A and B are shown apart, each in its own frame.
Chain A
């Protein structure tokens, strides 16, 4: 993908407000925060799971352009998916970040970060929410 297109996808997702919704007082949502892994990015994530399906997912917070945009893209990718499919998507995404073999077709817009390894300082930004969501999904799956 060419650099300009990548940049415009990242910026669109950075500025998109449609997933920026808080559900602090709704017990149907699992809440998690990325702050545990970093001093600076601070994203609250809200995940609503029903019958093994991610019925809704949203976020709010303050973070850099890479972590905000990658969160937005992931949310769009896994909303409506089963837990297994979502886990598979995140696994694939992590493979891409780690420069391993991965299935491009299920990653949608997330492939804009396929060369983030060239900026080691930003790998954490591109994986922050993925790690947070992954942990919650696995926790949910294993509790069933």
Chain B
């Protein structure tokens, strides 16, 4: 779908690494260039026309995000540098002050490093305990398994909505419902889900959500954090400076501004934020429903075609979601990726920054294909042909 919108798709590549980052449509690229060329000014300094335009664009993006994830208030949307930044702000700006030694945080072994390491650091510094929700035989999370590890000390559940390893979609709505009954807060890592599934803050009842623009057809280095207003109002900013203070005096007295600008110290990534807003407009124009339907069909097709090859092992056949983890039998994943690269097919080899999953997965490294709506069945057919002819893989890569 909509391939003509993406300049990168004129480069004769088959791009199957959308989990790492997505390609950018021309309208997003243009919106960034438009800011720098036509109204390049700072925000929150609205004393002249172009600066007022920046302010209205900037705040307009907040509203676009609110609408996109169905949050209640625009004040619940904080601009960040990306998903990693968002998670760190919540862990070290909120939970660091709310948790105490002995409190437990539940994650899984298939989380991304950015949803594990901050918790490890908190574990070392204030003595919380990081525990793992056992995964089922498909490496997925169930409420049933969750309930087995929840106890009176459990205070936080921190999970990706969709994992970057096998792309499974977590039952976040049920998890939040269960969590809230037990006075547990839920932090959702939305890096892989944003732009690929519908996330609804009010219906899902998520407490915190973090996401990056670059995985939803937007620019790098920018993202957002959603938090329920009362939680954000109780969160401590990690950065202090211009734009976030209401007043300060020479004796050290500081009064902070309101939520969410309290968390946006210094000049923000204005061009990036505008690009992120444009990416949301773009997704809305195509329609998230259409994207979901098409990506689902494509994934089914990919799995069914890959399954026909007897030299291919698929690790997540039964997973719903747009990611497939596979290997060529007896070939190291990186060698497979090198081989596919010879045919300009971009896939990711590795453990996908989920290093501790090895314990469960029984295989340390896989090739990962993560689809986006601009991928096609023809591209999959080309991949299948190349994989089918991989008997001489070493002849080609050595």
Instruction: Decide yes or no whether B353 CB sits under 8 A from chain A.
Output: yes
Instruction: Decide yes or no whether A6 CB sits under 8 A from chain B.
Output: yes
Q: Which residues 323-381 in B have Cβ within 8 Å of A in the complex?
A: 332-335, 338, 349-351, 353, 364-365
Total residues of chain B contacting the partner, CB 8 A = 15
Q: Give the chain B neighbours of A39 by CB distance below 8 A.
A: 350-351, 353
Cα separation A7 to B397 with both chains bound (whole Å): 9
- B398 partner, pick from A7, A41, A63, A68, beta carbons under 8 A: A7
Q: Give the chain B neighbours of A65 by CB distance below 8 A.
A: 332, 335, 394, 397-398
Q: Give the chain A neighbours of B335 by CB distance below 8 A.
A: 64-65
- A41 partner, pick from B334, B338, B397, beta carbons under 8 A: B334
Question: A6 touching B398 by the CB < 8 A rule?
Answer: yes
Closest to B394 in A: A11
Q: Give the chain A neighbours of B351 by CB distance below 8 A.
A: 39-40
Closest to B397 in A: A65
Q: Which residues 1-26 in A have Cβ within 8 Å of B in the complex?
A: 6-7, 10-11
Question: B394 touching A7 by the CB < 8 A rule?
Answer: yes
Q: Which residues 379-398 in B have Cβ within 8 Å of A in the complex?
A: 394-395, 397-398
Cα separation A65 to B332 with both chains bound (whole Å): 7
Cα separation A64 to B365 with both chains bound (whole Å): 11
Closest to B398 in A: A7
Chain A binding surface SS class: helix
Question: B398 touching A64 by the CB < 8 A rule?
Answer: no
Chain B's nearest CB lies how many Å from the CB of A88? Answer: 27
Chain B's nearest CB lies how many Å from the CB of A123? Answer: 13
Question: A40 touching B334 by the CB < 8 A rule?
Answer: yes
- A42 partner, pick from B353, B364, B394, beta carbons under 8 A: B364
Cα separation A62 to B394 with both chains bound (whole Å): 17
Question: A40 touching B350 by the CB < 8 A rule?
Answer: yes
Cα separation A39 to B394 with both chains bound (whole Å): 22
- The CB with the most chain A CB atoms within 10 A, among B332, B364, B397, B398, is that of B398
Chain A's nearest CB lies how many Å from the CB of B326? Answer: 16
Closest to A61 in B: B364
Contacts A40-B334, A40-B349, A40-B350 given; indicate if A62 touches B365 (C-beta within 8 A). Answer: yes
Chain A 40-56, CB-CB to B under 8 Å as 1, else 0, gives: 11100000000000000
Q: Give the chain A neighbours of B333 by CB distance below 8 A.
A: 40
Q: Which residues 200-252 in B have Cβ within 8 Å of A in the complex?
A: none
Closest to B332 in A: A64
Cα separation A65 to B330 with both chains bound (whole Å): 11
Chain A's nearest CB lies how many Å from the CB of B366? Answer: 11
Cα separation A40 to B394 with both chains bound (whole Å): 19
Question: B365 touching A121 by the CB < 8 A rule?
Answer: no
Q: Give the chain B neighbours of A6 by CB distance below 8 A.
A: 398
Chain A's nearest CB lies how many Å from the CB of B17? Answer: 14
Chain B's nearest CB lies how many Å from the CB of A17? Answer: 14
Question: B338 touching A40 by the CB < 8 A rule?
Answer: no
Chain A 92-122, CB-CB to B under 8 Å as 1, else 0, gives: 0000000000000000000000000000011
- A62 partner, pick from B332, B353, B395, beta carbons under 8 A: B332
Q: Give the chain B neighbours of A7 by CB distance below 8 A.
A: 394-395, 398
Q: Give the chain A neighbours of B365 by CB distance below 8 A.
A: 40, 62
Cα separation A120 to B17 with both chains bound (whole Å): 21
Question: A63 touching B332 by the CB < 8 A rule?
Answer: yes
Q: Give the chain B neighbours of A10 by CB distance below 8 A.
A: 394, 398
Q: Give the chain B neighbours of A41 by CB distance below 8 A.
A: 334
Cα separation A10 to B393 with both chains bound (whole Å): 13
Cα separation A10 to B353 with both chains bound (whole Å): 29
Q: Give the chain B neighbours of A125 by CB distance below 8 A.
A: 334
Chain B's nearest CB lies how many Å from the CB of A70? Answer: 12
Chain A's nearest CB lies how many Å from the CB of B8? Answer: 20
Question: A121 touching B338 by the CB < 8 A rule?
Answer: yes
Q: Give the chain B neighbours of A121 by CB distance below 8 A.
A: 338
Cα separation A104 to B251 with both chains bound (whole Å): 72
Cα separation A39 to B112 with both chains bound (whole Å): 13
Q: Give the chain B neighbours of A62 by CB distance below 8 A.
A: 332, 364-365
Chain A's nearest CB lies how many Å from the CB of B109? Answer: 17
Chain A's nearest CB lies how many Å from the CB of B341? Answer: 8
Cα separation A102 to B333 with both chains bound (whole Å): 33
Chain B's nearest CB lies how many Å from the CB of A43? Answer: 12
Subset of 6 A-B contacts with CB under 8 Å: A10-B394, A63-B334, A64-B334, A65-B398, A122-B338, A125-B334
New A-B contacts (19) at CB < 8 Å, excluding given A40-B334, A41-B334, A64-B338: A7-B394, A7-B398, A10-B394, A10-B398, A11-B394, A39-B350, A39-B353, A40-B333, A40-B349, A40-B350, A42-B364, A62-B332, A63-B332, A63-B334, A64-B334, A65-B394, A65-B398, A122-B338, A125-B334
